[in-house]
Amino acid sequence: MNRTHCLLMLCLLPLTLQTQGQRSSTSETHRSTAVDPRSQMTFRGGWRFKMGQDSATELQAEPDGTWTTVSVPHTWNRVGYYKDAPATHINTADNVVTTQGVGWYKLVFTPPANVDGMESFLQFDAASRIATVWLNGTLLGTHRGGFSRFRLDCTAALKPGQENRLTVKVDNTKPALGSSTADVLPLTGDFFVYGGLYRPVSLVFTKKAHLDLMDYGSAGVYAETTSIAAGSAQMQVRARMRNDSQQSEALVLRTTLVDAQDKIAGQEEQTVTLAPASVEERTANVIVPHPHLWQGVEDPYLYHVVVELSNKSSQVVDRVSVPFGIRQVRFDADQGLLLNGKHVAVHGVGYHQDREGKGWAREPEDVAADEATMREMGVTGIRLTHYQHGQPIHDLADRDGLVVWDEIPLVSQWTLGESLQPTEALRENARQQLRELIAQDFNHPSVITWSIGNEIDFGNSIPAFVGNKSGVVPDPLPLLRELNQLAHELDPSRPTTLATCCEGIRYAPDTVVPITASVTDLSGANRYFGWYYGTPSDLGPHLDALHDTRPAQPMAVTEYGAGGAISLHSDNALGGPESRNRPQAEEYESYLHEQNWSTLRSKPYLWATFLWNSFDFGSTTRSEGNAQDINTKGIVTFDHKYRKDPYFFYKANWTATPTVHINSSLYTERAYRTADVRVYSNAPKTSLDVNGKRIGVLERCPDRICVWSGIVLSPGANNIVATGSFPSGEVADKVQWHLSAAAAKGTYIDCGALVAGASPDKRFGSDTFFEGGTAQVITGPGSGFRAPPPASIAGTSIPEVAATYRTGTFSYRVPVDEGPHTVVFTFVEPSLHPGERIFDVFANGQKVLTNLDVAEAAGGALTAVQRKVEVNAKESLVTLEFKPTKGDAIISAIEVQ
């Protein structure tokens, strides 16, 4: 056996589709006994990798020992980690690698000797983000773009039956003026662009005449449904044929539609003569009697389109087989998505392709596991953001009936520096990536729209991760119009779309944003009311206004949600300010999804909703919640294992699968003796038991949210069991919450805090038991997606607790045992001078603090002062009222002992 440094897998492309037990349209069976004319070697193991050098010649003298042995898929990056409990996570602060630049790969392999005389093509399913390829010292070419499949003709450089040396330079340098990637999309984005050969690499062999492998990474075959009528359908199949010989070729082009039982459902033959060194396209129109339609998740029936080229001796010289679903899609501005005339509710998620420990270098089984996680939740649509995701997820969506939004990486920015126009090289790169996206995903019935961009309508409200621009900002409309026209030319059958951020959102009084949604056939709105701006209740009126602005344009909501950390918890989702870089309690993420979905499900004009995001993902623009360089808006964690509470909210609402889930299951060490128990359940009846005692039964809970308020916990372990009674039987969920002796005796409230701050000797809970007022934090918002610096507050040992506060006119009703209690108040004046804020405090109706001026008492702002009062409980409550006489009342912490 010849020496090799790689694992070579020689495989034949599949001839038939796996039978799914679905019915056939005819009784004739499709059979092919010919040896497959096309073969493929997949290069997986034995690669050598090295970072750093810019020149291939600099590497020639370096011995293999200085290189690392890797397998492909591979990335040199490891990005993002959770700060808590590092031993329980794959990524840690010590093993992350965020280096972006040049990496080199080399491979020694020996192809079979019997491929001599055949055409050979190196196929890269993706290389991020620029790849330059040499074979045996011959430069084959460069591909610019990190997400598309590309092929390079290596016939002249290949040595059949001998050792071959493959060298690949991959460059994921962060784009900047003058950089190697300055004209390669994406220029920026709230996600990390990993480097490497992160999808498979293979070598494909064909005869001289073949279906075109040099057509933007496509199959060389384009199939679409042109009509569906009673009892029949018509499909059109375009085939691109290439003749790489110097002689003309007389061929038979046979186009066959094969059903799931491997029987012929329709066929057409035609003769064609290919001129030497030429490419020709032919179209077949196939009639399908009694078609079995692809009906989404209800019935995702797949045929197979088989295109064969045969020579005058009836030998098959090339064959391509692609899955195909007969379907027609229509978008209605008032009724939403209609698939073959039937309304489809698109319950969607956004999806990024990285996961903790692997980055973008995932295996097909990883993608399959992700898709299964989505389907378990009831997902019927996926927005593949913000770039081309490759074939595995598309194949799965076809198989399972999910509809797909495909997108190119035109994200937030299309010029660098102060330039007002994109360079011609960047415009060409955008066109190229759109051509590749459409060519490679054209045949997938799951793909229903092409997106030409995401959030390129910031105008002068440019976020920090995009970069500041002075004066006039670039106009995105010319580039968008060009791409929209190109998409329609490449595929007239599918509508175009894009996702907007900013129309109708006033970030500041002088905000001016371009209206981009009107460029495309469909529109998508990324809207974060209750997170980056406004309140959840603002979402409905805002969407209605957008719909009224363009009543004939179908609209989707393409992003909504909030960050959530499974290690950070709140006793009351409304207890403190929460957005961006704030603590990001899991309970607030749940609350915002509950509120958003209540609005979205009432808008029949939305053809789809896509929550943001299915999984946490890497983003070096962020430092927030419990994470570094992770966008925490996923409803599943970065390792793709732990389903956060909102996941079960949607599962209860989107599926008929019996679902019962107790929220806050990881909030095990409770701060207060009373708690609300919140359960997501789609059961007709749901019961709650605490420590073996039945608390109550709720029927058909609104929005599938069952709540038992004010549940009294006992010191020590508390066993909480929620049970749903379904026609099929009972389904139960169990958690155990612990209450310490100190928490059972005392109540320590971190006022204005969504997640309680740390204290050296007491366990504070987050703000709850309040009525009225607003929660605020002294530090104010951080910069961009970065956490703010800690507050500098004098006179206290609990600065994190003192840094948040409730202000206005408000009260607290604190549940306690009967008898006398000591109440300790902590006050901090954020900014006012003495005499500007004066208020009284009442305890159970009695005035206990009169004309309190915190600034005067503390000697200025940002200095804590405490006051202590004695109170007798009434009806197991201590009621505290804060009534201003000038300005607003304020409180940072309350201790009831």
pLDDT at residue 781 greater than cutoff 60: no
Each residue's pLDDT tens digit, 185-241: 999 999 999 999 999 999 999 999 999 999 999 999 999 999 999 899 999 999 999
Average pLDDT, stretch 370-390? 98
pLDDT at residue 371 greater than cutoff 70: yes
Q: CA-CA distance, 521 to 494, in Å (whole number)? A: 9
What is the band of 461 on the pLDDT scale with cuts at 50, 70, 90?
confident
Each residue's pLDDT tens digit, 516-553: 999 999 999 999 999 999 999 999 999 999 999 999 99
pLDDT at residue 465 greater than cutoff 80: no
Listed residue (634, 563, 45) closest to 374, CA to CA = 634
What are the structure tokens assigned to 342, written together? 């039937």
Average pLDDT, stretch 65-82? 96
What is the band of 23 on the pLDDT scale with cuts at 50, 70, 90?
very low
Higher pLDDT, 618 or 58: 618
What lies within 8 Å, CB to CB, of 844 at 6+ separation is: 871, 872, 873, 874, 877, 878, 879
Q: CA-CA distance, 484 to 494, in Å (whole number)? A: 11
> Could you tell me the pTM of the whole model?
0.94
What is the band of 61 on the pLDDT scale with cuts at 50, 70, 90?
low
**In the block, residue with structure tokens 């419990």:** 626
pLDDT of residue 14: 33
Count of C-beta atoms within a 10 Å radius of residue 527: 27
pLDDT at residue 452 greater than cutoff 90: yes
pLDDT at residue 605 greater than cutoff 50: yes
Could you tell me if 319 and 307 are in contact, meaning their C-beta atoms sit under 8 angstroms apart? yes
Distance of CA 559 to the CA centre of its chain: 9
Angle between helices 539-549 and 586-600 (to 10 degrees): 40
Each residue's pLDDT tens digit, 731-773: 999 999 999 999 999 999 999 999 999 999 999 999 999 999 9
Of the chain, the percentage scoring pLDDT greater than 70 comes to 94
What lies within 8 Å, CB to CB, of 158 at 6+ separation is: 111, 115, 120, 135, 136, 164
Could you tell me if 298 and 245 are in contact, meaning their C-beta atoms sit under 8 angstroms apart? no
Q: CA-CA distance, 455 to 447, in Å (whole number)? A: 21
What is the band of 52 on the pLDDT scale with cuts at 50, 70, 90?
confident
Could you tell me if 307 and 313 are in contact, meaning their C-beta atoms sit under 8 angstroms apart? no
pLDDT of residue 56: 67
pLDDT of residue 583: 84
What lies within 8 Å, CB to CB, of 318 at 6+ separation is: 37, 38, 206, 207, 209, 210, 211, 308, 309
Helix-then-strand count for the chain, H and E: 10, 54
pLDDT of residue 237: 98
Each residue's pLDDT tens digit, 844-891: 999 999 999 999 999 999 999 999 999 999 999 999 999 999 999 999
Average pLDDT, stretch 505-526? 92
Q: CA-CA distance, 297 to 547, in Å (whole number)? A: 28
Q: What is the enclosing helix (H) or strand (E) of 610?
A: strand 606-611
Q: CA-CA distance, 129 to 107, in Å (whole number)? A: 20
Q: CA-CA distance, 766 to 591, in Å (whole number)? A: 16
pLDDT at residue 2 greater than cutoff 50: no
pLDDT at residue 7 greater than cutoff 60: no
**In the block, residue with structure tokens 């996923």:** 634
- Please give the single-letter amino acid code of residue 631: N
CB-count burial class (<10 Å; 0-12, 13-18, 19+) for 53: middle
pLDDT of residue 460: 84
- The per-residue DSSP string of 750-770 comes to ETT-SSPPP-SS---B-S-SE
Could you tell me if 884 and 839 are in contact, meaning their C-beta atoms sit under 8 angstroms apart? yes
Q: What is the enclosing helix (H) or strand (E) of 609?
A: strand 606-611
pLDDT at residue 139 greater than cutoff 70: yes
Distance of CA 813 to the CA centre of its chain: 41
Could you tell me if 300 and 12 are in contact, meaning their C-beta atoms sit under 8 angstroms apart? no
pLDDT of residue 784: 63
Of the chain, the percentage scoring pLDDT greater than 90 comes to 88
pLDDT of residue 1: 36
pLDDT of residue 170: 98
Each residue's pLDDT tens digit, 790-805: 778 999 999 999 999 9
Q: CA-CA distance, 256 to 46, in Å (whole number)? A: 40
